[in-house]
Amino acid sequence: MGEAGRLAVVSGGGTGIGAAVTRGLVADGFDVVVVGRRGDVLRAATERIGADCGRAGAVRAVVADLTDPGQLSGVVEAVDGRPVDAVVNNAGGYLGGDTGTLAGVAAHWRANLDANVLTAVLLTEALRPVLRRPGGRVILLSSIAAQRGGGGAYSAAKAALHGWAYDLAAQLGPEQITVNVVSPGYVAETEFFGDRMTPEGHAKRVAATLVGRAGLPDDIAGAVRYLAGRDAGYVTGQVLGVNGGSVLGR
């Protein structure tokens, strides 16, 4: 509970990595505002995490599509004038689409850029004025696909977060606000792959690690908790790979 009294906002906090991050931050003492599009999913996660951590009321849910600038006001209202200690930009995912026409290509790229870049940019910009100064944390969830390819428009969208993070770290550094990227490798037990994952795909991804296993949401949450915490104040502008050794040294 070393972070008691602090406030975090976690996008996509109702499922997968975001739910694990929320649970971890609540265990650390943070109050958390979770944001996503599905109210029922968010409410279930909110109740489960609050009860499991013995801190009912520590998590509040805000329903918003973070690709839509008109839907950010609810997040700002939920923060209720408190300084925000950590913004965890976790919402995102791979969006497919019919790329058989140029119109389809454009729609596919826009959807992936919206889901992975705009969600993070809009949430961060909405909360930028109320980030804690000094001491705020901005964390972006990227992907191993940004570092080694493999996801087309998704890879490109996640890579865009890296360049933006470097600029944001430079802008906010003088105010003692850090900006870092967590880049997960293969993480099972989330909604990310939907029905796209096969036993062969799973085995291939596990074989590409040095530790011989799939990542779990808590593996990624551990890195986010460190970066969100008080001990990480001298770490900024970094990309932290959490991938079981699938990509080395970057």
Ligand X SMILES: NC(=O)c1ccc[n+]([C@@H]2O[C@H](COP(=O)([O-])OP(=O)(O)OC[C@H]3O[C@@H](n4cnc5c(N)ncnc54)[C@H](OP(=O)(O)O)[C@@H]3O)[C@@H](O)[C@H]2O)c1
Interface residues with ligand X (CB under 6 A) are 11-12, 14-18, 35-38, 41, 65-67, 90-93, 115, 119, 141, 143-144, 184, 186-187, 190-192
Residue type, 99: T
Tell me, rounded to whole angstroms, the distance of Cα 180 from its chain centroid. 11
For residue 165, the minimal CB distance to ligand X (Å) is 14
Residue whose CB is less far from ligand X, 30 or 192: 192
Residue whose CB is less far from ligand X, 75 or 130: 75
Contact between 23 and 30 (Cβ < 8 Å) = no
For residue 116, the minimal CB distance to ligand X (Å) is 6
Q: H helices of the chain, where?
A: 16-28, 39-52, 73-79, 102-113, 119-127, 144-148, 153-172, 199-207, 217-228
Report the SS3 class of residue 58.
coil
Whether the CA torsion 47, 53, 59, 61 is positive or negative: it is negative
Of the residues 94, 154, 166, 186, only one is catalytic, namely 154
For residue 3, the minimal CB distance to ligand X (Å) is 22
Residue whose CB is less far from ligand X, 135 or 247: 247
Contact between 220 and 20 (Cβ < 8 Å) = yes
For residue 39, the minimal CB distance to ligand X (Å) is 8
Q: Is 154 a known active-site residue?
A: yes
Residue whose CB is less far from ligand X, 141 or 169: 141
| Separation between Cα atoms, residue 115 and residue 118, nearest integer Å | 6
Residue whose CB is less far from ligand X, 37 or 132: 37
| Separation between Cα atoms, residue 67 and residue 237, nearest integer Å | 24
For residue 234, the minimal CB distance to ligand X (Å) is 25
Q: Which two tokens stand for residue 76?
A: 């700002």
| Separation between Cα atoms, residue 47 and residue 66, nearest integer Å | 22
Catalytic residues: 154
